[in-house]
Structure 1
Amino acid sequence: MESAELLKKYNVAAPRYTSYPTVPYWDIENFNANGWLGSVANTYAGYKEEGISLYIHLPFCESLCTYCGCNTRITKNHSVEVPYILALLAEWDMYVGALREKPKLREIHLGGGTPTFFSAENLGLLINGIMQNATLASDAELSFEAHPANTTKAHLTALYQLGFRRLSLGIQDFDPKVQFLINRFQTPAQVARVTCEAREIGYTSINFDLIYGLPGQSIDGLERTISDVITMQPDRIAFYSYAHVPWLKPGQRHYTEKDIPTGDEKFALYQFGRKLLLEAGYEDVGMDHFALESDLLFQSMATDKLHRNFMGYTSQHTHLLIGLGVSSISDSWTAFAQNPKTVEAYLDKIAQKLLPVEKGHFLTDEDLSIRKHILNIMCRANTAYSEGIPEKVYERLLPLLRDKLVWVTEKEIRITTKGKSFLRNVCMAFDEKLWLKQPKTQLFSSSI
């Protein structure tokens, strides 16, 4: 186990680096929708054969999970489904118009919110509508997030018939005390039912989401949760750090800081959970992720093909990611764009037949270079400079080097086994925008 001194030293607010620059450092004043669409068309033209990734945000949930940091809309009114789907399809038509042809999709991911809030029939309406203006790559990966408590066999069957083969179940923790505090309820039996049904139907990769550092969480409770999880043998497991950001997500005020494991206690949960997963045959993949050797995520890491984007880690590397729906972020490789964060603002833009982008950033040459090194660290645990490591980067790495978290030569930086728990801290050494303008308020969650 890492020393308490090391933990205290590096347990600082840090970005998760699903992009560079990170969203708070975007140059939004010089962004415009026409320039964004131009970058989309240019990237598509240059990487047409590669295909594109498509993320679709489905924000609706019937109840608020108080730990959640996602963009959600709480409602039990299911009449919102079809109007929202029609808006998504209208947005997709705008992008297809900019590309001037039906693009090839290499990846589709339905995120939320709770995608299984939508009926199986309406999810079919959505995907069939998308595919009217697209083709699927032969090796396309289609995946969706699901709540175990409301995912039906009809959901699983309908999406399988549409080409979906990967399913991600949000579990977080099975401890009843934790579930009460975070207002998220599902039993091991419910998760086992969905998992078994999915496998019987033909799904080839099932992911479970777990979180450490949740209010009320204990070593004993986490051990029981992971024991139940291992019995079900998911192909992948995402084991995330709970991000306590009540200034952004008021629902997290349902409990107090006294309920939340911090410092040594939180790190012990991570180390213990990681140990159990490794002993069960799961392999460390990047940051926060574990996979069986038979799973494509591990295989992509083993062959240096692992990629990271706004959806997290993926085995599909595309230069163009289009995000549809409220709050979605798109990436043309040379620019980022984000949609409005409220359903009303998003639908209003669509009603006006306007591309619903609210803010964005055009990447400079320096941004692109830094992005490359951060991606290398996140996905391959090493990076190299052809002309040698810049002096300022080397100086920032010195504390990590002394603590044996990285191994450094004149041109190369490698993450050590000990350093795998501190990837976010290592990436901060490259983050010029963060060093040039230190935040005056807390923008990011703690790194551990």
Structure 2
Amino acid sequence: MSRALINKYNIAGPRYTSYPTVPYWNQETFSLENWKDSLIKSFHESNSKEGISLYIHLPFCESLCTFCGCNKRITKQHSVESPYLKAILKEWYLYLEWFDEKPIIKELHLGGGTPTFFSPENLNLLINGILDDAVLAENHEFSFEGHPNNTTREHLQTLYNLGFKRVSYGVQDYNETVQRAIHRVQPFENVKRATELAREIGYTSVGHDIIFGLPFQNLDHVKETILKTKELLPNRLAFYSYAHVPWIKGNGQRGFSDSDLPSAELKRSQYELGKELLAEVGYHEIGMDHFALKTDSLYKSMENGSLHRNFMGYTASKTQAMIGLGVSSISDSWYGFSQNVKQIEDYYKLLNQDVIPVYRGHILNEEDLIIRNHILNLMCGFKTEWSQDQDYLYFDEIPETLMRLKEMEADGLLNINSNSIEVTKKGQPFVRNVCMAFDLLLQRRQPDTQLFSMTV
């Protein structure tokens, strides 16, 4: 990857877990009532055919990792567990009142924070409480994020007995200097123990998260981390760029100086080296920043065209409706998005008033839906196509979009056909930039402040 391309395309841009992206959600046309209407519509259209997805945000952590951009609450007081889980179940029951039939749960994911902050007994109460008034889809997939330092055999066995077959562990980097800088010290032996325990119990997919672009990280650190990963051979990997956005996330990302971070050129070298090493091991790139062995469901979904992307990242199957429970969780009805309040105290207050704790969202118009489909196609399959009849709203401005893409084509990043584009292998690391050319809201109004991480 040439320095010229890095310098040219290394700009701030969205990661496109949604379209429109959160800064462009229209609050003027959003209300809890029209969010309810959009979710009920989606539920009626899709529940019996494909089921729904649930994301549950468990925000508590015992210590602060300074690379983390997630919504979290730092505490060592485990007395917070029970009230929070009761609140989540209360929110779930309020949603159930909107539906005239039992939801069929296709996917369920526990994210954080640190889900394994919670005791196995409390996690058991949570999941059973969710399933009491729901039906399990035949090929459901339950997954959770585990911390290698505190995920016990009891955690793994309890969740496995509840139907969980996939776990992902945050590794980040194995170098001690890097680990100390990000306040996430975890020896290789802990990751090895947690990985082998999951497989011994019967988990069919174990994932590791690895980050490049961390403070003090160099090429040797990335190589060392990948070679250690090779010893454990997780079924899938997230290998992604550290998003340095302290102006959004506050002091949690200021445990080091900006000068301690790798340059954009070094970050791209770290990515290229990591990708090369992963390919040698047998991993295949899936969408953006994800890799999987051929035996994993994520790879198989890419091959058969069912790969999907939402606020949980890449998933092996799609449900039209996804409900997010817990503080800051985002829900998606396909026709609209909603996000819960971010402070636990506000979350409790609204639930005590029997109000679903949504504080912002967006209802998609016809243009939004067209563009969303194009961006989802690009993020999942690196190609998209259009027609004059179906995309008439979008076509008013698509010539301008194609002009932006012409320069990328000249750089060898994509191929433009009469009614489609396809991103090349060379262009895949820049897929966010390609999506930005389709993002009419971004083109019409550049954000006033730097809201996004750098694309490289």
Q: Deviations over 1:391-425 (max 9, x none)?
A: 12111111111111010111010010101111100
Secondary structure of 1:99 counterpart: coil
Alignment correspondent of 1:193: 193
Alignment correspondent of 2:59: 59
Within the candidate set 427, 446, 451, 1:438 is matched to: 446
Shift of 1:222: 1.3
Alignment correspondent of 1:206: 206
Aligned pair 1:407/2:415, yes or no? yes
Alignment correspondent of 2:221: 221
Distance 1:263 1:83 in 2: 44
Amino acid at match of 2:132: Q
Amino acid at match of 1:384: E
Secondary structure of 1:248 counterpart: helix
Alignment correspondent of 2:90: 90
1:297-312 superposed matches below 5 A: 297-312=298-313
Secondary structure of 2:174 counterpart: coil
Q: Which moved more, 1:248-257 or 1:427-436?
A: 248-257
Q: Deviations over 1:247-302 (max 9, x none)?
A: 12221111001110022111111111111111110001000000000000000000
Distance 1:106 1:287 in 2: 24
Q: Deviations over 1:299-334 (max 9, x none)?
A: 000001000001000012010000000000000000
Shift of 1:100: 2.3
- TM-score between both structures, scaled by the size of structure 1: 0.99
Shift of 1:230: 1.0
8 Å contact from structure 2 (residues 181, 255) kept in 1: yes
Flag structure 1 segments of 5+ consecutive residues without an equivalent: none
Amino acid at match of 1:253: R
Alignment correspondent of 1:296: 297
Amino acid at match of 1:140: H
Alignment correspondent of 1:353: 354
1:264-413 superposed matches below 5 A: 264-387=265-388, 390-413=398-421
Distance 1:201 1:240 in 2: 29
Distance 1:181 1:400 in 2: 37
Alignment correspondent of 1:180: 180
Amino acid at match of 1:29: E
1:16-165 superposed matches below 5 A: 16-49=15-48, 50-165=50-165
- TM-score between both structures, scaled by the size of structure 2: 0.97
Secondary structure of 1:98 counterpart: coil
8 Å contact from structure 2 (residues 248, 451) kept in 1: no
Distance 1:258 1:394 in 2: 37
Secondary structure of 1:305 counterpart: coil
Aligned pair 1:167/2:167, yes or no? yes
Shift of 1:182: 0.2
Flag structure 2 segments of 5+ consecutive residues without an equivalent: none
Shift of 1:29: 2.0
Shift of 1:101: 2.3
Amino acid at match of 2:402: Y
Secondary structure of 1:215 counterpart: coil
Distance 1:302 1:128 in 2: 34
Shift of 1:344: 1.0
Shift of 1:374: 0.1
Secondary structure of 1:183 counterpart: coil
Amino acid at match of 1:328: S
Q: Deviations over 1:362-387 (max 9, x none)?
A: 00000000000000000111100112
Shift of 1:37: 0.9
Amino acid at match of 2:423: I
Counting aligned pairs with the same residue, the percent is: 54
What is the RMSD computed on CA atoms of the aligned residues? 0.8
